[in-house]
């Protein structure tokens, strides 16, 4: 079929779903609303598949479908088309978004069936999909930015979906405002890039990117990419702007799965990969990205170890996994980043949905201390959750293993890499294994701490089918990116992934010193897996074999544990250092400038106008004869002028 039509279907079908559900937003029939929304997303999934098939059919060098609908902005030399492009990168993204998206929609139908504003919910969800598609399909930064803002809006709407609860609404606002900070930086980056290269189009930008690395900190490319990266930290919840994501768990669980695990939060990674030629040429930026990524990975993991809310744990794990992705970007392993992005989308969505299923079963109970032993109540959820667990702690041959291992190896071996980075990554992996096992243990294993009045039960098919599908994906998802070293062992399995992304990935300018041989890679692989396994076993021991031992450890750690438990007091610090002073400043601004100066000026103007008006109004008595008199006087006036001439 024609690409234009396919593209329009792909983009518009969720939007139409949004319109339909949006217009019937007062309806309570969750089945109708859900089917509409799911169908909309599924349709766009199909068209996405068709498009990707076309892309596959193309020659490897220029796999690119560009559909330009119209010239959107044409100011001076700023020419922005409403153009959408499907290439190797966005192909993956649209598949994830629409595929996982439709699964999550399906899940939501059953999950939200008790909710009043279900139609509204699905409308928001569809709107999100639409914006996300804009984001990933946009052929230039501006269209991408539209999507960027749009997903921010939808995330705000959906986090605060139960806005009657004050702190949920507050969480929504927090997310929105934090994103604003990032978006400002993103805009600045856009401006810098436009000033430097005179275009916002990805293809042109990548073509114009310098061929030699930019040494200085203040070079255009470095600054621009840095600002863009800050924008990415906002959207993708990296230090220092990660604080909103844990609170974002206030939203419905499928939303957390879709927006705050699978798709939206990966937008930053996607953006960096999309512009990798630029980033590669700014080693300083790359260093920053790598460090921040590694730091986030470790820190979030540590916090994750101490949380009691099932969704909070998952949220922090998301943050740390995103940290991995940024680490990968930072060391120039963009392919690995995308790879991990995909696998993470699978297993993290799976785990969120699983947690949703659990919460559903526990009647909106999210505290894992009140769970445990759910294994026998909800086997399917448990089984799929196990798959996700194995994937995330990087057990071969599950999806997570390949992607994470790729990242770790690259963080050591790549020219931008560094042993310290590798160490951080390995530590993060270990911690991840620990807290995920802890989660599993407290939720599903051990003896039940379920309150007497709640009777957990397995969820219905509409919730379990997505779990199963995602479970399968998180098992096999990684097999398309099997490293060479393993591939050689199993009779030379090709690394499809690398070949796939290769045309779009710019080579790192500086050459790596020396060449690492396979044995080293094997060792690292073994080390990371081993560490993960060990920490998993430890966690299993602590939480299943002898429960309560964890408390001893916590007491032993004392203040450190406190600090970690309170998330390093980051929120408090932000409040003390930034937010409260800002609020005070703005209040003064409001009082002294706005009220006492600007308002006074406007009042003065309005008073003048009013006075004039009342003067003129006195002429309007409604007495027709007076009006006639005015006409006559005017006539005389005009005639006299005419006669004087």
Partner 1 sequence: MRAVKVEHMLSTDIITHVGLNHYLVLSALLFVTGMAGVLIRRNVIVLMMSIELMLNAVNISFVAFSKYLDKLDGQVLVFFVMTIAAAEAAVGLAIAVSIFKRYKEVNIRFFEHLKG
Partner 2 sequence: MTADSFLFWLLAAVTLVSGLSVVLVSNPIYSALCLAMSMVGISALFATLGAYFIAGVQMIVYAGAVLVLFVMVLMLFDLKTELATFSRGKISGLIKIATVGTLAGFLAGAFSMSIEFMEKPATKTVVAEAGVDMSRNLGTLLFTKYILGFEALGILLLVIAIGVVGLARSKGGTHAKH
With respect to partner 1, which residue has the nearer C-beta, 211 or 620? 620
Residues 314-317: contacts with CB under 8 Å, at least 24 apart: 314/249, 314/256, 314/261, 314/348, 314/351, 314/352, 314/355, 314/439, 315/245, 315/246, 315/248, 315/249, 315/256, 315/260, 316/246, 316/435, 317/348, 317/392, 317/432, 317/435, 317/436
Distance of closest approach, residue 152 Cβ to partner 1, in angstroms: 48
Does position 629 interact with partner 1 (CB under 8 A)? The reply is yes
Residue 164 sits in the site that holds partner 2 (CB under 8 A): no
Q: Which residue has the tokens 């139908």?
A: 109
Which of 341, 313, 314, 316 is CA-nearest to residue 327? 341
| 3-state SS, residue 46 | helix
CB of 626 to partner 2, least distance (A): 7
Q: Which of 369, 401, 445 is nearest to 533 (CA)?
A: 401
**Alpha-carbon span 296 to 327, nearest angstrom:** 9
627: contact with partner 2 by CB under 8 A: no
Minimum CB separation from partner 1 for residue 610, in Å?
19
DSSP state string for 327-396: HHHHTT-HHHHHHHHHHHHHHHHHHHHHHHHHHHHTTS--BGGG---GGGT-HHHHHHHHHHHHHHTT-T
Nearer to partner 1, 609 or 628 (CB): 628
Instruction: Work out what residue 461 binds among partner 2, partner 1, none; the CB cut-off runs from 5 to 8 Å by kind.
Output: none
Using rule CB under 8 A, residue 2 touches partner 1: no
Q: Does 541 bind partner 2 (CB under 8 A)?
A: no
Site string for partner 2, 572-611 (x = CB under 8 A): ----------------------------------------
Choose between 69 and 630: whose C-beta lies nearer to partner 2: 630
For residue 626, state whether it binds partner 2 (rule: CB under 8 A): yes
CA 546 – CA 453 distance, rounded (Å): 26
Q: Least separation, in Å, of the C-beta of 634 and partner 1?
A: 13
Q: Which residue pairs from 509-515 have beta carbons closer than 8 angstroms and sit at least 24 positions apart in sequence?
A: 509/211, 509/212, 509/213, 509/280, 509/281, 510/213, 510/283, 510/415, 511/415, 512/413, 512/414, 512/415, 513/415
Q: How far is the CB of 629 from partner 1 (least distance, A)?
A: 6
Q: Is 641 in the site for partner 2 (CB under 8 A)?
A: no
Selected from 5, 578, 605, 633, the binder of partner 2 by CB under 8 A is 633
Positions 568 through 627 that interact with partner 1 (CB under 8 A): 620-625
Which partner, partner 2, partner 1, none, binds residue 640 by CB below 5 to 8 Å per kind? partner 2
Residue 53 interacts with partner 2 (CB under 8 A): yes or no: no
Does 62 sit near partner 2 (CB under 8 A)?
Answer: no
Q: Does residue 60 interact with partner 2 by CB under 8 A?
A: no
Among 556, 601, 619, 643, binds partner 2 (CB under 8 A): 643
Say whether residue 29 binds partner 2 (CB under 8 A): no
The footprint of partner 2 on this chain (CB under 8 A) covers a number of residues equal to: 10
Angle at CA 223, nearest 5°, toward 218 and 225? 145
Write the Ramachandran bin of 638: left for phi over 0, alpha for psi from -120 to 50, otherwise beta: alpha
Residue 60 binding result from partner 1, partner 2, none, given CB thresholds of 5 to 8 Å by partner type = none
Spell out, one character per residue from 531 to 570, where the chain touches partner 1: x when CB under 8 A holds, - when not: ----------------------------------------
The window from 224-232, 272-280, 533-541, 631-639 that contacts partner 2 (CB under 8 A) reads 631-639
3-class SS of residue 69:
strand
Q: How far is the CB of 645 from partner 1 (least distance, A)?
A: 20
Q: Closer to partner 2 at the Cβ: 606 or 626?
A: 626
> How far is residue 30 from each of residues 106, 113, 211, measured CA to CA in Å?
11, 5, 55
Cα(307)–Cα(317) distance, integer angstroms: 11
The residues of the shown chain that bind partner 2, judged by CB under 8 A, are 625-626, 629, 632-633, 635-636, 639-640, 643
């Amino acid at each position: 079929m024609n690409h234009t039509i396919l593209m329009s279907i792909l983009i518009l079908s969720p939007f139409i779903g949004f319109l339909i559900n949006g217009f019937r937003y007062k309806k309570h029939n969750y089945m109708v609303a859900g089917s509409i929304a799911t169908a909309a997303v599924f349709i766009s999934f199909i068209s996405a598949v068709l498009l990707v098939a076309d892309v596959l059919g193309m020659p490897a060098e220029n796999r690119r479908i560009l559909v330009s609908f119209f010239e959107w902005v044409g100011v001076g030399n700023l020419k922005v088309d409403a153009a959408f492009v499907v290439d190797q990168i966005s192909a993956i993204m649209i598949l994830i978004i629409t595929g996982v998206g439709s699964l999550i929609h399906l899940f939501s139908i059953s999950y939200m069936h008790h909710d009043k504003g279900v139609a509204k919910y699905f409308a928001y969800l569809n709107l999100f999909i639409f914006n996300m598609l804009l984001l990933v399909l946009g052929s230039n930064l501006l269209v991408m930015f539209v999507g960027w803002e749009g997903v921010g809006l939808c995330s705000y709407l959906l986090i605060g979906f139960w806005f009657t609860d004050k702190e949920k609404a507050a969480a929504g606002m927090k997310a929105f405002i934090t994103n604003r900070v990032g978006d400002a930086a993103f805009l600045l980056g856009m401006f810098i890039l436009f000033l430097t290269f005179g275009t916002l189009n990805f293809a042109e930008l990548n073509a114009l990117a310098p061929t030699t690395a930019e040494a200085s900190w203040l070079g255009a490319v470095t600054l621009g990419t840095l600002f863009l990266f800050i924008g990415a930290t906002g959207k993708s919840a990296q230090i220092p702007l990660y604080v909103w994501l844990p609170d974002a768990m206030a939203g419905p669980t499928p939303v957390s799965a879709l927006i705050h695990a699978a798709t939206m939060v990966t937008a930053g990674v996607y953006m960096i990969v999309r512009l990798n030629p630029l980033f590669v040429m700014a080693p300083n930026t790359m260093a920053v990205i790598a460090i921040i990524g590694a730091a986030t990975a470790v820190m979030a993991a540590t916090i994750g170890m101490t949380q009691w809310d099932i969704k909070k744990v998952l949220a922090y794990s998301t943050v740390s996994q995103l940290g991995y992705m940024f680490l990968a970007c930072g060391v120039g392993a963009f392919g690995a980043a995308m790879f991990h992005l995909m696998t993470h989308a699978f297993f993290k969505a799976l785990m969120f949905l699983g947690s949703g299923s659990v919460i559903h079963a526990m009647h909106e109970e999210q505290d894992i201390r009140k769970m445990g032993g759910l294994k026998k109540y909800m086997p399917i959820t448990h089984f799929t959750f196990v798959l996700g667990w194995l994937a995330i702690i990087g057990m071969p041959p599950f999806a997570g293993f390949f992607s994470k291992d790729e990242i770790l190896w690259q963080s050591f071996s790549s020219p931008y890499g560094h042993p310290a980075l590798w160490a951080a990554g390995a530590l993060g992996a270990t911690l991840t294994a620990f807290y995920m096992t802890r989660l599993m243990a407290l939720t599903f294993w051990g003896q039940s701490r379920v309150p007497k009045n709640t009777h957990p039960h397995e969820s219905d098919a509409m919730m379990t089918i997505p779990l199963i599908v995602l479970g399968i994906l998180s098992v096999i998802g990684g097999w398309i990116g099997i490293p060479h070293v393993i591939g050689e062992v199993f009779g030379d399995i090709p690394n499809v992934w690398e070949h796939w992304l290769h045309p779009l990935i710019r080579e790192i300018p500086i050459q790596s010193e020396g060449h690492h041989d396979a044995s080293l890679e094997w060792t690292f692989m073994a080390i990371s897996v081993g560490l993960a396994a060990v920490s998993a076993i430890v966690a299993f021991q602590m939480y299943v074999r002898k429960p309560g031992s964890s408390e001893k450890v916590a007491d032993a750690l004392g203040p450190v544990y406190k600090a970690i438990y309170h998330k390093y007091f980051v929120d408090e610090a932000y409040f003390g250092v930034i937010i409260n002073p800002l609020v005070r400043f703005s209040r003064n601004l409001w009082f002294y400038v706005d009220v006492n100066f600007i308002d006074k000026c406007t009042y003065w103007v309005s008073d003048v106008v009013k006075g004039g008006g009342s003067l003129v109004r006195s002429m309007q008595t409604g007495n027709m004869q007076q009006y006639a008199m005015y006409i006559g006087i005017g006539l005389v006036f005009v005639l006299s002028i005419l006669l004087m001439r």
